[in-house]
Structure 1
Amino acid sequence: MAASVHVSKVRSLYKRILVLHRFLPIDLRALGDQYVKDEFRRHKGAAAEEVKGFMAEWENYKATMQTQVLESAGDQNSSVKFGANLPEGKLGSFQEDQIGQLYELMLESTKSTRQFDIQEDSK
């Protein structure tokens, strides 16, 4: 039973993040959706201790995104910045592969030309 509650919490968080991504600019949404899907898939069989940190960080991300989406909805005239700066102290707790992954994400998100030409569906 505890496992089904945990699975339900993970799915709920995953779905909520993807819903929040709908409010991002289209290129950030595509990048963010893929990153979230990859990360949740990668941690499917993680140890219980690792799962605690994983869920806490993604809950923080969800809370940040919710705040930023609400700000962007309330202020149509200005451009809201999505995301947050990563404190230097937090980098010390990252594993080497996580730092590499973060670097790749930074490179992809700051490219002047995107890998794909993403267009919104015309309605």
Structure 2
Amino acid sequence: MATSAHFSRVRSLYKRILVLHRFLPIDLRALGDQYVKDEFRRHKGASPGEVKSFMAEWENYKDTLQTQVLASAGERLGSVKFGANLSEGKLGDFQEEQIGQLYELMLESTKSSRQFDFQEESK
């Protein structure tokens, strides 16, 4: 049975990721927020072994994103690259469904025509 400390840790990680997403370009933020919400919701009833792996991977994601956000401070947002490459070893650990999700996420995040196209107003 999950403890209140566990729920607090999960909630804290979830909220921290959403806060970090505020520093992403708006289209990536919308995509990332929805993905995080779906994944956390999908894993509410996961087994203890799955939860351990789930939390470790999302902690890694949070740490990577936090490092990239801090490194991007003061740079033009359009010139900043977010994300990381996955090793073949990591990909080998994925289930078929997860690889499908990853592929769909890659397609969505690399679309040439973004859903949102904001441009600075000229003065």
Q: Same fold (TM over 0.5)?
A: yes
Deviation at 1:112, TM superposition (A): 1.1
Amino acid of the structure 2 residue aligned with 1:66: Q
3-state SS, counterpart of residue 38 of structure 1: helix
Where structure 1 has 5 or more consecutive residues not aligned to the other structure, the ranges are none
Partner residue, 1:52: 52
Q: Does 1:76 find its partner at 2:75?
A: yes
Q: Secondary structure at the match of 1:24?
A: coil
User: What's the counterpart of residue 107 of structure 1?
Assistant: 107
**Whose relative contact order is higher, 1 or 2, with alpha carbons under 8 Å and at least 6 apart?**
2
- The count of aligned residue pairs is 117
The C-alpha deviation readout for 1:48-83, integer Å capped at 9, x for no partner, is: 00000000000000000110010011x425822101
Could you tell me how far apart the structure 1 residues matched to 2:40 and 2:76 are?
35
- Which aligned segments of 4 or more residues in structure 1 are displaced greater than 4 angstroms? none
Question: Is there any run of 5+ residues in structure 2 with no aligned partner, and where?
Answer: 119-123
Q: Give per-residue Cα distances to partners, 1:82-111, cap 9 Å, x unaligned.
A: 010111111111001000100110111111
Distance 2:8 2:52 in 1: 15
| Alignment partners' CA distance in 2, 1:51 and 1:2 | 10
TM (normalized to structure 1)? 0.88
